[in-house]
Protein backbone atom coordinates (compact mmCIF):
# COMPACT_ATOMS: atom_id res chain seq x y z
CA UNK A 1 0.00 0.00 0.00
CA UNK A 2 1.36 3.37 -1.03
CA UNK A 3 1.98 5.82 1.80
CA UNK A 4 0.28 9.22 1.58
CA UNK A 5 2.48 12.14 0.60
CA UNK A 6 2.32 13.62 4.12
CA UNK A 7 3.47 10.34 5.69
CA UNK A 8 6.49 10.24 3.38
CA UNK A 9 7.42 13.78 4.41
CA UNK A 10 7.11 12.93 8.12
CA UNK A 11 9.32 9.88 7.59
CA UNK A 12 11.97 11.98 5.85
CA UNK A 13 11.90 14.60 8.62
CA UNK A 14 12.35 11.98 11.36
CA UNK A 15 14.92 9.76 9.69
CA UNK A 16 17.03 11.89 7.39
CA UNK A 17 18.19 14.36 10.07
CA UNK A 18 19.73 11.72 12.37
CA UNK A 19 21.27 9.90 9.39
CA UNK A 20 22.91 13.10 8.18
CA UNK A 21 24.17 13.83 11.71
CA UNK A 22 25.79 10.38 11.99
CA UNK A 23 27.34 10.63 8.52
CA UNK A 24 28.71 14.16 9.02
CA UNK A 25 30.17 13.61 12.49
CA UNK A 26 31.72 10.26 11.53
CA UNK A 27 33.27 11.81 8.39
CA UNK A 28 34.70 14.73 10.36
CA UNK A 29 36.09 12.40 13.04
CA UNK A 30 37.72 10.07 10.50
CA UNK A 31 39.32 12.93 8.61
CA UNK A 32 40.64 14.62 11.77
CA UNK A 33 42.37 11.50 13.09
CA UNK A 34 43.93 10.86 9.67
CA UNK A 35 45.62 14.27 9.46
CA UNK A 36 49.46 14.19 9.43
CA UNK A 37 51.34 15.47 12.48
CA UNK A 38 48.06 15.95 14.34
CA UNK A 39 49.43 14.93 17.76
CA UNK A 40 52.36 17.31 17.43
CA UNK A 41 50.06 20.13 16.32
CA UNK A 42 47.64 19.53 19.20
CA UNK A 43 50.50 19.42 21.68
CA UNK A 44 51.93 22.66 20.33
CA UNK A 45 48.51 24.33 20.40
CA UNK A 46 47.84 23.16 23.97
CA UNK A 47 51.23 24.41 25.15
CA UNK A 48 50.92 27.73 23.34
CA UNK A 49 47.47 28.70 24.66
CA UNK A 50 48.30 28.14 28.32
CA UNK A 51 49.11 31.11 30.53
CA UNK A 52 49.47 34.51 28.90
CA UNK A 53 48.02 33.41 25.54
CA UNK A 54 44.67 32.19 26.93
CA UNK A 55 42.98 35.56 26.37
CA UNK A 56 44.25 35.75 22.78
CA UNK A 57 42.96 32.26 22.08
CA UNK A 58 39.56 33.24 23.51
CA UNK A 59 39.57 36.27 21.20
CA UNK A 60 40.17 33.95 18.23
CA UNK A 61 37.08 31.94 19.20
CA UNK A 62 35.08 35.18 19.42
CA UNK A 63 36.35 36.19 15.98
CA UNK A 64 35.24 32.81 14.62
CA UNK A 65 31.73 33.41 15.98
CA UNK A 66 31.71 36.91 14.46
CA UNK A 67 32.94 35.51 11.14
CA UNK A 68 30.04 33.10 10.72
CA UNK A 69 27.53 35.60 12.11
CA UNK A 70 28.60 38.05 9.41
CA UNK A 71 28.17 35.28 6.82
CA UNK A 72 24.68 34.65 8.20
CA UNK A 73 23.87 38.35 7.94
CA UNK A 74 25.14 38.35 4.36
CA UNK A 75 22.84 35.48 3.43
CA UNK A 76 19.94 37.17 5.24
CA UNK A 77 20.46 40.34 3.18
CA UNK A 78 20.63 38.33 -0.05
CA UNK A 79 17.49 36.37 0.78
CA UNK A 80 15.42 39.47 1.61
CA UNK A 81 13.96 39.89 -1.94
CA UNK A 82 12.91 36.22 -1.90
CA UNK A 83 12.02 35.45 1.73
CA UNK A 84 12.39 37.21 5.08
CA UNK A 85 14.61 35.11 7.37
CA UNK A 86 15.69 35.96 10.92
CA UNK A 87 19.39 36.22 11.67
CA UNK A 88 19.16 33.17 13.95
CA UNK A 89 17.59 31.01 11.24
CA UNK A 90 20.10 32.35 8.74
CA UNK A 91 22.96 31.38 11.07
CA UNK A 92 21.54 27.87 11.49
CA UNK A 93 21.20 27.52 7.71
CA UNK A 94 24.80 28.66 7.19
CA UNK A 95 26.18 26.21 9.78
CA UNK A 96 24.15 23.29 8.45
CA UNK A 97 25.32 24.19 4.95
CA UNK A 98 28.91 24.21 6.18
CA UNK A 99 28.45 20.78 7.78
CA UNK A 100 26.98 19.30 4.61
CA UNK A 101 29.67 20.95 2.49
CA UNK A 102 32.62 19.51 4.41
CA UNK A 103 32.75 16.39 2.22
CA UNK A 104 32.20 18.07 -1.14
CA UNK A 105 34.72 19.75 -3.51
CA UNK A 106 34.98 23.46 -2.71
CA UNK A 107 32.06 22.95 -0.29
CA UNK A 108 29.36 22.96 -2.95
CA UNK A 109 27.19 20.99 -0.51
CA UNK A 110 26.62 24.25 1.38
CA UNK A 111 23.98 25.23 -1.17
CA UNK A 112 21.89 22.17 -0.37
CA UNK A 113 22.18 22.74 3.36
CA UNK A 114 21.10 26.36 3.25
CA UNK A 115 18.05 25.74 1.09
CA UNK A 116 16.57 23.56 3.83
CA UNK A 117 15.58 26.74 5.71
CA UNK A 118 13.83 28.16 2.66
CA UNK A 119 10.15 27.62 1.88
CA UNK A 120 9.31 24.83 -0.52
CA UNK A 121 9.02 26.24 -4.03
CA UNK A 122 11.67 28.91 -3.39
CA UNK A 123 14.60 26.61 -2.67
CA UNK A 124 16.15 26.48 -6.13
CA UNK A 125 15.94 30.28 -6.38
CA UNK A 126 17.80 30.48 -3.05
CA UNK A 127 20.70 28.57 -4.62
CA UNK A 128 21.10 31.35 -7.20
CA UNK A 129 21.27 33.91 -4.36
CA UNK A 130 23.77 31.78 -2.43
CA UNK A 131 25.99 31.65 -5.52
CA UNK A 132 25.98 35.47 -5.61
CA UNK A 133 27.15 35.49 -1.98
CA UNK A 134 29.99 33.13 -2.87
CA UNK A 135 30.81 35.31 -5.87
CA UNK A 136 31.18 38.39 -3.64
CA UNK A 137 33.56 36.47 -1.35
CA UNK A 138 35.56 35.28 -4.35
CA UNK A 139 35.94 38.85 -5.65
CA UNK A 140 37.33 40.04 -2.29
CA UNK A 141 39.71 37.06 -2.21
CA UNK A 142 40.96 37.71 -5.75
CA UNK A 143 41.51 41.44 -5.21
CA UNK A 144 43.37 41.13 -1.90
CA UNK A 145 45.16 37.93 -2.97
CA UNK A 146 46.31 39.65 -6.16
CA UNK A 147 47.47 42.65 -4.11
CA UNK A 148 49.41 40.24 -1.90
CA UNK A 149 51.13 38.76 -4.94
CA UNK A 150 52.14 42.24 -6.10
CA UNK A 151 53.42 43.38 -2.71
CA UNK A 152 55.32 40.15 -2.07
CA UNK A 153 56.42 39.75 -5.71
CA UNK A 154 60.19 39.94 -5.23
CA UNK A 155 60.19 37.69 -2.19
CA UNK A 156 58.03 35.11 -3.94
CA UNK A 157 60.24 35.27 -7.04
CA UNK A 158 63.10 33.83 -5.00
CA UNK A 159 61.00 31.18 -3.26
CA UNK A 160 62.41 28.51 -5.58
CA UNK A 161 65.82 29.18 -7.03
CA UNK A 162 65.57 26.26 -9.45
CA UNK A 163 62.67 27.85 -11.34
CA UNK A 164 64.25 30.47 -13.59
CA UNK A 165 60.90 31.62 -15.01
CA UNK A 166 59.29 32.16 -11.60
CA UNK A 167 59.20 36.01 -11.97
CA UNK A 168 57.49 35.67 -15.36
CA UNK A 169 54.98 33.15 -14.04
CA UNK A 170 54.24 35.46 -11.10
CA UNK A 171 53.53 38.35 -13.45
CA UNK A 172 51.22 36.21 -15.55
CA UNK A 173 49.41 35.00 -12.42
CA UNK A 174 49.02 38.54 -11.08
CA UNK A 175 47.54 39.83 -14.33
CA UNK A 176 45.25 36.79 -14.62
CA UNK A 177 43.94 37.25 -11.07
CA UNK A 178 43.19 40.95 -11.52
CA UNK A 179 41.57 40.49 -14.94
CA UNK A 180 39.45 37.66 -13.58
CA UNK A 181 38.47 39.82 -10.59
CA UNK A 182 37.53 42.74 -12.88
CA UNK A 183 35.35 40.51 -15.07
CA UNK A 184 33.59 38.98 -12.07
CA UNK A 185 33.07 42.43 -10.54
CA UNK A 186 31.47 43.64 -13.78
CA UNK A 187 29.06 40.70 -13.88
CA UNK A 188 28.41 41.02 -10.14
CA UNK A 189 26.93 44.49 -10.60
CA UNK A 190 25.18 43.55 -13.87
CA UNK A 191 23.40 40.35 -12.92
CA UNK A 192 20.74 41.12 -15.51
CA UNK A 193 23.37 40.19 -18.12
CA UNK A 194 23.47 36.70 -16.63
CA UNK A 195 19.70 36.35 -16.88
CA UNK A 196 19.74 37.64 -20.47
CA UNK A 197 22.53 35.21 -21.30
CA UNK A 198 20.44 32.33 -20.01
CA UNK A 199 17.56 33.57 -22.14
CA UNK A 200 19.81 33.68 -25.20
CA UNK A 201 20.90 30.12 -24.45
CA UNK A 202 17.18 29.27 -24.48
CA UNK A 203 17.18 27.78 -21.02
CA UNK A 204 13.84 26.14 -20.35
CA UNK A 205 11.35 28.52 -18.74
CA UNK A 206 10.84 26.30 -15.70
CA UNK A 207 14.56 26.71 -14.91
CA UNK A 208 14.88 30.31 -16.07
CA UNK A 209 12.24 31.44 -13.56
CA UNK A 210 14.53 30.50 -10.69
CA UNK A 211 17.09 33.09 -11.82
CA UNK A 212 14.57 35.92 -12.17
CA UNK A 213 15.14 36.76 -8.50
CA UNK A 214 18.58 38.09 -9.43
CA UNK A 215 16.89 41.04 -11.15
CA UNK A 216 15.54 42.14 -7.75
CA UNK A 217 19.01 42.57 -6.25
CA UNK A 218 19.55 46.32 -6.17
CA UNK A 219 23.02 47.85 -6.24
CA UNK A 220 22.65 48.83 -2.58
CA UNK A 221 22.09 45.17 -1.64
CA UNK A 222 25.08 44.05 -3.72
CA UNK A 223 27.30 46.69 -2.10
CA UNK A 224 26.21 45.60 1.39
CA UNK A 225 26.93 41.97 0.53
CA UNK A 226 30.36 42.88 -0.86
CA UNK A 227 31.13 44.91 2.29
CA UNK A 228 30.11 42.01 4.52
CA UNK A 229 32.34 39.70 2.48
CA UNK A 230 35.27 42.08 3.03
CA UNK A 231 34.45 42.16 6.76
CA UNK A 232 34.49 38.34 6.90
CA UNK A 233 37.84 38.32 5.14
CA UNK A 234 39.40 40.76 7.62
CA UNK A 235 38.05 38.82 10.61
CA UNK A 236 39.55 35.60 9.26
CA UNK A 237 42.95 37.16 8.56
CA UNK A 238 43.08 38.86 11.97
CA UNK A 239 42.31 35.54 13.70
CA UNK A 240 45.04 33.83 11.66
CA UNK A 241 47.58 36.52 12.60
CA UNK A 242 46.73 36.10 16.30
CA UNK A 243 47.13 32.33 16.00
CA UNK A 244 50.53 32.74 14.35
CA UNK A 245 51.61 34.94 17.26
CA UNK A 246 50.34 32.37 19.79
CA UNK A 247 52.33 29.67 18.00
CA UNK A 248 55.51 31.78 18.28
CA UNK A 249 55.80 32.38 14.55
CA UNK A 250 57.82 35.59 14.47
CA UNK A 251 56.41 37.63 11.62
CA UNK A 252 55.30 41.25 11.30
CA UNK A 253 51.54 41.70 11.16
CA UNK A 254 51.57 43.51 7.81
CA UNK A 255 53.71 40.77 6.24
CA UNK A 256 51.45 38.09 7.70
CA UNK A 257 48.38 39.86 6.28
CA UNK A 258 49.64 39.71 2.68
CA UNK A 259 51.03 36.19 2.99
CA UNK A 260 47.69 35.00 4.39
CA UNK A 261 45.92 36.72 1.50
CA UNK A 262 48.09 34.72 -0.93
CA UNK A 263 47.45 31.52 1.03
CA UNK A 264 43.70 32.14 0.98
CA UNK A 265 43.90 32.78 -2.77
CA UNK A 266 45.64 29.43 -3.29
CA UNK A 267 43.09 27.56 -1.16
CA UNK A 268 40.21 29.22 -3.02
CA UNK A 269 41.49 28.51 -6.53
CA UNK A 270 42.72 24.94 -5.98
CA UNK A 271 39.76 22.51 -5.97
CA UNK A 272 39.73 20.56 -2.72
CA UNK A 273 37.48 19.07 -0.05
CA UNK A 274 37.36 21.03 3.21
CA UNK A 275 38.09 17.95 5.32
CA UNK A 276 41.21 17.25 3.28
CA UNK A 277 42.22 20.90 3.05
CA UNK A 278 44.48 21.00 6.11
CA UNK A 279 47.24 19.06 4.31
CA UNK A 280 47.28 21.52 1.41
CA UNK A 281 46.85 24.44 3.80
CA UNK A 282 49.82 23.29 5.89
CA UNK A 283 52.14 22.79 2.91
CA UNK A 284 51.23 26.12 1.32
CA UNK A 285 51.51 27.93 4.67
CA UNK A 286 54.98 26.51 5.33
CA UNK A 287 56.11 27.49 1.83
CA UNK A 288 54.88 31.07 2.28
CA UNK A 289 55.59 31.80 5.95
CA UNK A 290 59.11 30.37 5.76
CA UNK A 291 59.94 33.60 3.93
CA UNK A 292 59.68 35.30 7.35
CA UNK A 293 60.01 32.57 9.99
CA UNK A 294 61.87 29.29 10.51
CA UNK A 295 59.35 27.93 13.03
CA UNK A 296 57.93 25.22 10.77
CA UNK A 297 56.09 23.40 13.56
CA UNK A 298 54.47 26.65 14.69
CA UNK A 299 53.41 27.45 11.12
CA UNK A 300 51.83 24.00 10.67
CA UNK A 301 50.18 24.18 14.10
CA UNK A 302 48.66 27.57 13.22
CA UNK A 303 47.33 26.27 9.90
CA UNK A 304 45.83 23.23 11.66
CA UNK A 305 44.41 25.43 14.42
CA UNK A 306 42.68 27.88 12.08
CA UNK A 307 41.23 24.92 10.15
CA UNK A 308 39.85 23.37 13.32
CA UNK A 309 38.53 26.63 14.78
CA UNK A 310 37.08 28.23 11.67
CA UNK A 311 35.77 25.13 9.86
CA UNK A 312 35.60 21.97 11.96
CA UNK A 313 34.05 23.43 15.14
CA UNK A 314 31.31 25.35 13.26
CA UNK A 315 30.68 22.24 11.11
CA UNK A 316 30.21 20.11 14.25
CA UNK A 317 27.70 22.68 15.55
CA UNK A 318 25.97 22.51 12.17
CA UNK A 319 25.84 18.72 12.32
CA UNK A 320 24.10 18.94 15.72
CA UNK A 321 21.56 21.39 14.25
CA UNK A 322 20.78 18.85 11.52
CA UNK A 323 18.99 16.74 14.15
CA UNK A 324 16.24 19.33 14.43
CA UNK A 325 16.02 19.98 10.70
CA UNK A 326 12.62 19.60 9.05
CA UNK A 327 13.17 19.19 5.34
CA UNK A 328 9.50 19.16 4.42
CA UNK A 329 6.51 21.11 5.69
CA UNK A 330 3.94 18.63 7.03
CA UNK A 331 1.32 21.12 8.24
CA UNK A 332 -0.70 21.09 5.07
At 287-330, the pLDDT tens digits run 888 888 888 888 888 888 888 889 888 988 888 887 766 655 54
Q: Are 237 and 257 in contact (CB under 8 A)?
A: yes
Task: List, in sequence order, the alpha helices (H) in 247-295.
Answer: 253-269, 277-289
Residue 221 has pLDDT above 50, yes or no: yes
Residue 108 has pLDDT above 80, yes or no: no
Residue 4 has pLDDT above 80, yes or no: no
Residue 271 has pLDDT above 60, yes or no: yes
Residue 193 has pLDDT above 60, yes or no: yes
Task: List, in sequence order, the alpha helices (H) in 190-251.
Answer: 191-200, 205-208, 219-246
Mean pLDDT in residue range 210-221 = 83
CA angle 61, 67, 71 (to 5 degrees): 150
Please tell me the distance from the alpha carbon of residue 45 to that of residue 299, in angstroms, as a whole number. 11
Mean pLDDT in residue range 271-287 = 66
The larger pLDDT score, comparing residue 118 to residue 46, is at: 118
In this prediction, residue 269 carries a pLDDT of 81
Please tell me the distance from the alpha carbon of residue 166 to that of residue 317, in angstroms, as a whole number. 43
Residue 54 has pLDDT above 70, yes or no: yes
Lowest average pLDDT, out of 132-141, 161-170, 247-256, 299-308, goes to 161-170
Residue 1 has pLDDT above 60, yes or no: no
In this prediction, residue 301 carries a pLDDT of 84
Q: Are 216 and 123 in contact (CB under 8 A)?
A: no
Residue 37 has pLDDT above 80, yes or no: no
pTM above 0.85, yes or no: no
Residue 147 has pLDDT above 90, yes or no: yes
In this prediction, residue 3 carries a pLDDT of 40
Task: Express as a percent the part of the chain with pLDDT over 90.
Answer: 30
The larger pLDDT score, comparing residue 230 to residue 210, is at: 230
61-107 pLDDT, tens digit each:
999 999 999 999 999 999 998 889 999 999 999 998 888 887 676 67
The larger pLDDT score, comparing residue 126 to residue 270, is at: 126
Q: What average pLDDT does the chain have?
A: 79
The larger pLDDT score, comparing residue 42 to residue 214, is at: 214
Closest to 93 in 3D by CA, of 121, 56, 118: 118
Residue 171 has pLDDT above 80, yes or no: yes
Mean pLDDT in residue range 194-214 = 67
Amino acid sequence: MKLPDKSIKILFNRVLGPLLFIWITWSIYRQIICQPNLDASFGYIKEAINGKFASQFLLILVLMCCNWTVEARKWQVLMAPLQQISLWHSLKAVLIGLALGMNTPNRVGEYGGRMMYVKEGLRISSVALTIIGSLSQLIVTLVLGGAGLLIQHYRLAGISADIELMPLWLQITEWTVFVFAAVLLLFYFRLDWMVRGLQVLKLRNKWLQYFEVLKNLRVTILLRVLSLSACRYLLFVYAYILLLQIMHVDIYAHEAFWLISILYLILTLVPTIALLEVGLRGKAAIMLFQLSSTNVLGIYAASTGIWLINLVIPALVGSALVLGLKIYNTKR
